[in-house]
Amino acid sequence: MASLPSLRPNRPLPDTPPWPTNRVVLPPRRKISLACTNCRSKKIRCDGTNPFCSECIRSGSRCLYENVDKRKTETWRIAVNDLEQKNHQLGSLVQSLKCDSFPEAVERLRQLRGDQHQQPDRHEEITVGTPGFSDTSSSSFGLATSINPYLAASVDRPSASRSVSDNDGLVDLGYANLPCEDMTRHAVNAFKTCGATLFHVMSQETLDVLIQKVYQHDPGVTPSDVCQLCALAAVGSQYCTNEIPAFAKEAYYQHAFVLLDQLEDDDLAHMRVFTCLAVYLVMLKSTSARTMTASGLNVARTYIETRLQDTNEEDQLEWARVYRTLACTECFLSSTLGYELDLRADEIKLIDDLADAESAMNPNNEINSQIMQRYVFNIAFLSAQVYECFRLSDHICMDDLHTLSAQLDTWHRELPPCLQLSSLTSGESNTSECVRRPLLFMHMSHISSHITLYERIVSTTLKDAMGASDKQMIREVFRLPADAIRIYGSFAQQLARIIKLLYDEEAVLVRCWLTIHASFHATIVLLMLATQHLALAVPQPSILKDMEHIGGCLKVLQYCANYDIAAMRLVDIVSPLFNRLWQMIENPNDVDKIAPSFLLSDTPGAPRISAGLAHVVHQVVATMGLRYQEIWV
């Protein structure tokens, strides 16, 4: 049998290499310990450069690095130990719940949930100050060089004025198991304080009668009474996040939803319940809110066609006010989720007629809930029109844009003195919390509409350049009118100041989509403004002021992200951009090492911009076209 061929060479290797000794030998390939998530998902080689790698710069992709290298054995060992510990804790919990009596198990579970909500105060947080900002005050909006939405964020805390006992539970009233009367009154009062000024559902007198009938075993109580009370309490329970237990919030919503089928021909009750459930779902960022709103509008249209003319004047006013709230919710959802506004011309006229009747009853324009609801609907309707202008066509009609901008200015100009923002910031105002916070919300909505108009213009103008390189994108951005950038940048700064005022007064509602939406929009426009100031070498104090406003809006987003999924997702989008931009401000020389800079235009003497900064601008412009259906559930 022939022997196997030798694996060794048959002749000795030469003493000298066969190639020329003067040849340049390439250094060994550099090994990186951590690749970005984009390169890892595409299974391509990453050079590991921070803040973004060369491959992501070339392709115009988002470059994110995970803080942990999951390939290391020690990382997996720590993860496995954590899972084993959690598994042991859950096993112990299950064993503790296996009690002899069901009430004892419920009590233990309630105690567990109560312990879970013992959160630190939102001002007891560690903030790494940056040059130029104060980090000594608890209400300071100092920035952090690396913002972490889970470490730097603060959480909601129960108010000191009311503490719900862990012993509060469901009460059997014979026809339903509802949370106790004290808890229900607390939820209803939260709605009165936070939302009743802007959204009319029912009068306080009607609400007091409902509570009395339901909890005093009134023989005349009906499923409609229970359904309406539960629907309104469900909304109020979301305003006081930590003060109403989760089982109570779920009970309110489930009872209201189940009893809808028993309302029969009570159209006004149907509208009230659909309105409340829609607002409840908006707070949970559920797109099902649109279905609830559409159902309420269908009930209202049936009422208009069949019974409106036979209703007395007082009931017509009550119906019209509830309908205005329903229509306002429709406008808000249309502009947010991006669908066609479902309001007819005759329905808009009904709301205008209601405004005329209320104006006649209040000739001196004294501040009350009716006058605020009137102007809130008007700005919500204008916001829906802003989106509608861009939804129908990819091409911008400048006449329509000028018309919408003029209408927004007219809305603000025609505000009565009692509703002007200056009346709150002058120091002479003694308005209550029920009025002060809704006024700030109303002006936030107005400024957000202006900013949305600007974002739509930018995203539509740069649509053709979105698939291009960072170089082409940045050049298109700097061709935008300088006046528009300055005007809308000032809008974003003003919006950031209002958001800061709400935060300093501890008036931020963690699930309020209006606040989350406004904080995100202000952050995006201010990021664009800061990048342009940085590219044009504007004096550093102006750039630091932009970053301070951005940091304030991000702090509010992080605060809301502890409870709200949409806020959490928005933080994940804008926080990396802010961190990268801040890194460029702190270490401008390191940015140029990533990729060569280029001229902003082909004209002689044009300023240069780093490729890293251009990449941030590209990402900011892409974020302006975000569809909110993607961050809702």
Q: What is the DSSP string of 572-592?
A: HHHHHHHHHHHHHHH-HHHHT
Task: Read off the pLDDT of each residue in 604-629 and give the average, rounded to a whole number.
Answer: 80
The backbone region for 8, taken as left when phi is positive above 0, alpha when psi lies in -120 to 50, beta otherwise, is beta
Nearest to 178 by CA among 240, 114, 116, 223: 223
Asked if residue 430 has pLDDT above 70, the reply is no
Q: Which pLDDT band holds residue 559 (cuts at 50, 70, 90)?
A: very high
What is the number of other CB atoms lying within 10 angstroms of the CB of residue 114?
14
Nearest to 263 by CA among 222, 319, 292: 222
Nearest to 281 by CA among 227, 325, 235: 235
Question: d(Cα 10, Cα 5) in Å, to the nearest integer?
Answer: 11
- Partners of residue 179 on adjacent β-strands: 170
List phi, psi (to 5°) of 47.
Answer: -85, -5
Asked if residue 28 has pLDDT above 60, the reply is no
Of 588 and 356, the structure prediction assigns the larger pLDDT to 356
Output the pLDDT for position 45: 84
DSSP state of 3: P
Question: d(Cα 110, Cα 94) in Å, to the nearest integer?
Answer: 14
Of 576 and 622, the structure prediction assigns the larger pLDDT to 576
Output the pLDDT for position 459: 76
Question: d(Cα 483, Cα 511) in Å, to the nearest integer?
Answer: 35
Alpha helices (H) along 462-539: 470-477, 482-504, 513-535
Task: Read off the pLDDT of each residue in 15-42 and give the average, rounded to a whole number.
Answer: 59
Asked if residue 160 has pLDDT above 60, the reply is no
Across 116-125, 320-329, 459-468, 615-624, least confident range: 116-125
Across 89-93, 266-270, 361-365, 447-451, least confident range: 89-93
Domain edges within the chain:
181-388, 432-630
* Those residues with Cβ within 8 angstroms of residue 316's Cβ, 6 or more apart along the chain or in another chain: 308
Question: d(Cα 93, Cα 109) in Å, to the nearest integer?
Answer: 9
Query: Residue 120 in contact with residue 156, Cβ under 8 Å?
Result: no
Question: d(Cα 312, Cα 315) in Å, to the nearest integer?
Answer: 6
Across 65-69, 294-298, 299-303, least confident range: 65-69
Q: Which pLDDT band holds residue 486 (cuts at 50, 70, 90)?
A: confident
Output the pLDDT for position 276: 96
Q: What angle do CA 436, 329, 371 make, to 5 degrees?
A: 40
Retrieve residue 391's tokens.
């939804």
Nearest to 324 by CA among 192, 195, 200: 200
List phi, psi (to 5°) of 34.
Answer: -150, 125
Q: What is the mean pLDDT of the chain?
A: 78
Query: Residue 600 in contact with residue 607, Cβ under 8 Å?
Result: yes
* Those residues with Cβ within 8 angstroms of residue 69's Cβ, 6 or more apart along the chain or in another chain: 33, 34, 75
Q: What is the DSSP string of 328-359?
A: HHHHHHIIIII------HHHHHHHHHHHHHHH
